[in-house]
Amino acid sequence: MCVACRQMKEKKELIKVTKPKEGPIQIDETGKLPGRGAYVCKNPDCVKKAKKARGFERAFKCALPEDLYEKLDEVAKDG
């Protein structure tokens, strides 16, 4: 489910962001990294909406680095 639009979609239509127990929050391009995961659509509008609504902050209970949103935006535009 996308943290922005709240729609259920196939995993291949979503971008996974993972928060491992130790280490930084990162984009999981393989979909197999361990840790807590949250998803956003491969749509730049959903990435903007997730940032504005603080969807990842709610999912992970911590703030996301600004550069991660920039990387998400790039992946969404490519994807």
pLDDT in tens, 20-73: 999 899 999 999 999 999 999 999 999 999 999 999 999 999 989 999 999 999
- Residue 78: which pLDDT band, with cuts at 50, 70 and 90? confident
CATH fold for domain 11-78? Hypothetical Cytosolic Protein; Chain: A; (3.30.1230)
Closest CA to 51 of 37, 61, 40, 36: 40
What would the two tokens of residue 54 be? 């603080």
Whether the CB-CB separation of 1 and 7 falls below 8 Å is answered with yes
Q: Where are the domains of the chain?
A: 11-78
Q: What is the three-class DSSP state of 52?
A: helix
